[in-house]
Amino acid sequence: MKKRILLFAGIPLIILLLVILSCHFLVVANASGSTFDNVNDIPHNRVGLLLATSPITPAGDHNLNFDHRIDAATELFYAGKIDFIIASGGDYSGSQKHGCNEPAAIRDSLAIRGIPLDRIILDYEGTRTLNSIAKAKKFYRLDSLTIISQKYHNQRAIYLANHYDIYAVGYNAEPSPFKGQRFKNSFREYFSRVKMFIDIISGKDFTPSESPN
């Protein structure tokens, strides 16, 4: 009897695990050959979409993932691989303990590195990766772009971009040097991929509050 109970209790867990792994490998397979670590290998796109993260972690520590994304965007720009950078994130300065204005933080960090302000576009509706990609298509009318984030994030964003009929490549920012942070990000990403497929299957979409010109 106990074995039967354990068997029936284990079936949902096995199904959940299979769903998580299926979502993961679908995203990885789709992004195969579309993410780059070397700036010399990546093709040119007029626009780079920098997916924001806060420069400060929820615990109040400095977020090295932010620095690495800024470094990656800067490298692309100076290598002539992108001409404009969309800083896509949210303004959490008034809603979170260590929250900040992410697009403004990106703009300021890029400006310090010499990127002209007229080449930086602030998108305050990028509170989700889905929003950032949908706005790139619906508002900025982009059919191709370069996504800038860590590899695990780029892979998922490329899947979303393809869903919106955008040809996308990803430039991989360096991951966190801390093993614990890398594990945390990777673990969370498995569930983010499942959520992405739920959004796609359920028809979840995003409509920018602004209207395109």
* CATH code: domain of residue 131: 3.40.50.620
- What is this structure's pTM? 0.91
Residue 58 lies in a domain: yes
Range of the domain at 33: 2-202
Token digits for 164?
Answer: 């919106």
Give the pairing of strands 84-88 and 167-173. Answer: unpaired
pLDDT in tens, the chain (213 residues): 666 655 566 777 888 899 999 999 999 999 999 999 999 999 999 999 999 998 888 777 888 999 999 999 999 999 999 999 999 999 998 777 777 999 999 999 999 999 999 999 999 999 999 999 999 999 999 999 999 999 999 999 999 999 999 999 999 999 988 888 888 889 999 999 999 999 999 999 999 986 554
Question: What are the tokens at 87?
Answer: 């800083």
Burial class from Cβ neighbours inside 10 Å (0-12, 13-18, 19+) for residue 197 reads middle
Contact 206, 132 (CB under 8 A): no
Give the separation between CA 164 and CA 153, rounded to whole angstroms: 17
Count of structural domains within the chain: 1
